[in-house]
Structure 1
Amino acid sequence: MDLMELFFVAIGAAVFVYYGVKLLLFIRMLFPKTWFPVSKSFFTSMGEWAVVTGASEGIGKEYAFALAKKGMNVVIMSRTKVKLEEVAKEIGNTTGQKVKVVATDFSKENAFSEIEDQLRGLNIGVLVNNVGVLPSVVPKRFLEQKELDQTITTVISCNVKTMAKMCKIVLPGMDNRGRGLIINISSGIAWVPYPLYTLYTASKVFVDRFSQGLQAEYKDKGIIIQAVAPFGVSTKLSGYQRTNFFTISAEEFVKGSLQYVRAGDKTNGTVNHIIAGLLMSSVPLKILHSEFALQSLQDCVRDGLARQALENGSTVL
């Protein structure tokens, strides 16, 4: 075997090993209970309290419920106090755990000093940074957004600054105790440049990189910091899309994602969305960015909103 032939054999072997390892890692992600087991006492071992932002509905509400069912007391945060109090009552009656309500507007600078006061003295073991906003429920081009200057400020404040500020508040206690779990909700569509969600996906790229960098800094301290990047979840934020294999309920998503907390610094949260991520990464951007794909996306969201409005007896604007 001459040198050139040996070179190509080595290249072929390297490619085979590379894709073989990727396949094994992918298969492992399909069986979280086997590869990333989470004991019944895992969450309560992190601390007495869990803090969940954006907890008045959707994914945040389901995280608060799920963590309370696992034996944690929960602090639920969002802007609407009435909704929070309803959720708190429901969680308390269902689980028997303590629920603390903190109504706050994350877009205001003084909100975080008030939050810090409210959380002082609590043994916080879990933080779920879920609060987030879309520029508009129906996806639009960047320049088509209403009140664009204010929209830019709101998205960055809510999706980027709030997550970093909440970590600043909660992380020191975890660092002192040498344990803790921080879940930062990202988005699957942040994996690629995604038109009509340009500002939103850019903010979620920050969530990914911030989480991964922070995990590298604090992993040796016994703290788990993870970005969770779902694809389709049927919530108000997604226009209440119909559930199917790839679009799942908030309850199903949260139940699945909590099985992946030991799976690394980034996960899609469920088997369905791991497969969705694989498929999305395989689709050429030319197709994703086509006018047909973008129009279909807008129509899908509008249909979901119309269906929800019909069920509620209201109208769609």
Structure 2
Amino acid sequence: MALTELIFTLVGACVVLFYCAKLVHMLMLLFPRVWYPLPENFFTSMGKWAVITGASDGIGKAYAQELARRGLNVVIISRSKEKLDRLAREIEDTTGVKAITIAADFTKDDVFGVIKENIQGLDVAILVNNVGMQPAFIPCKLLETDHLEEKMHQVINCNVKTAVKMCHIVLPGMVERGRGIILTVSSGMAKIPFPIYTLYIATKIFLERFSQGLQAEYKSNGILFQTVSPFGVSTAMMGNQKAGFFVFTAEEFVRSSLMYLKAGEQTYGSIRHAVLGWVIQAIPTWVLRSEAFHHIFQEFVKKQVAS
């Protein structure tokens, strides 16, 4: 009897401690500048250059602009040379830093030789693995995806292979210098099973585990790895949905996410998205897997895109 009471007491104490830790963590997220302060020269102390993939629009563009404002020269890489050149001129005119553009279609197989040639020897402070794509604009079951064979190849190249290859290019220099940051953009939806986004979410889960593994392998070399997992951000890939309480503009989200750079190997990038993540993870899995939920969510996305 005494043993049973002891076991229940210990289990109860563990539960209380777990939720107390959750509460403390949430309170810390409310005040990132207090708990996770970054010196003004933090990024420039890591090196001279930022390398950003998928930089012509959305979150990648916002990272390029924000890191340039913080004193880093930028290498911006994306498919559209016209957009990259326009962004480079804007960054150089407004911040005075240098901007190098590299046009590359990450859905293709052989784009990394040119990238390596252009950034080799640069003192890279931060790599932002941002580029990504969805197999379908409106979420659907895997077999309902148009041109599925082609889309599988493109999504895996863009979302998975690119991050691995960019780390392979940039990481040796960071290890040699003993400093650097590798930031990888994932998705809040990767925290739960999310049918109708199956292929896309699977690639984001890969990125999270890949980043966690590299953090364990190279933390002793002075390199910081973090995945950022946003929910709603108003970008072209998300249908340029209207900004609101849970939907940030790309610029707002990037400024917020950088405040949590020292908050651990994974972050939602904002307290609002962290709360949303905790709520969504509390939803029973059977709800997320139901056909009714799939239909409701598809209709919701269609309305967001139409508005």
* TM-score in terms of structure 1 length: 0.93
Residue 92 of structure 1 corresponds to 92
In 2, are the aligned partners of 1:53 and 1:128 still within 8 Å (CA)?
A: yes
Residue 109 of structure 1 corresponds to 109
Q: Distance in 2 between matches of 1:281 and 1:105?
A: 35
Tell me the secondary structure at the aligned position of residue 101 of structure 1.
Answer: strand
Q: How does 1:123-202 map to 2 (within 5 A)?
A: 123-202=123-202
Deviation per residue, 1:123-146 (Å, 9 max, x gap): 111100000010011111111111
In 2, are the aligned partners of 1:241 and 1:300 still within 8 Å (CA)?
A: no
Structure 2 gap segments, 5+ residues each: none
Q: CA deviation at 1:99?
A: 0.5
Tell me the secondary structure at the aligned position of residue 37 of structure 2.
Answer: coil
Deviation per residue, 1:87-116 (Å, 9 max, x gap): 111111211111100001123332111110
Residue 249 of structure 1 corresponds to 249
Tell me the secondary structure at the aligned position of residue 133 of structure 1.
Answer: coil
Deviation per residue, 1:39-68 (Å, 9 max, x gap): 110011111000000000000000000000
Residue 4 of structure 2 corresponds to 4
In 2, are the aligned partners of 1:186 and 1:229 still within 8 Å (CA)?
A: yes
Structure 1 gap segments, 5+ residues each: 308-317
Q: After alignment, is 178-187 or 83-92 more displaced?
A: 83-92
Q: CA deviation at 1:240?
A: 1.4
Q: Distance in 2 between matches of 1:24 and 1:305?
A: 37
Q: Distance in 2 between matches of 1:7 and 1:165?
A: 49
Runs of 4+ in 1 over 6 A off after TM superposition: none
Residue 306 of structure 2 corresponds to 306
* TM-score in terms of structure 2 length: 0.96
Q: Distance in 2 between matches of 1:279 and 1:4?
A: 33
In 2, are the aligned partners of 1:239 and 1:302 still within 8 Å (CA)?
A: no
Q: Distance in 1 between matches of 2:257 and 2:306?
A: 29
In 1, are the aligned partners of 2:228 and 2:257 still within 8 Å (CA)?
A: yes
Q: Distance in 2 between matches of 1:6 and 1:272?
A: 39
In the alignment, structure 1 residue 26 sits paired with structure 2 residue 15: no
Residue 313 of structure 1 corresponds to none
Deviation per residue, 1:61-85 (Å, 9 max, x gap): 0000000000000000001101111
Residue 210 of structure 1 corresponds to 210
Q: Which amino acid aligns with 2:248?
A: I
**Structural RMSD (CA):** 1.4
Residue 236 of structure 2 corresponds to 236
* Identical counterparts, % of pairs: 50
Residue 56 of structure 1 corresponds to 56
Deviation per residue, 1:203-229 (Å, 9 max, x gap): 000000000110111111110011111
In the alignment, structure 1 residue 37 sits paired with structure 2 residue 37: yes
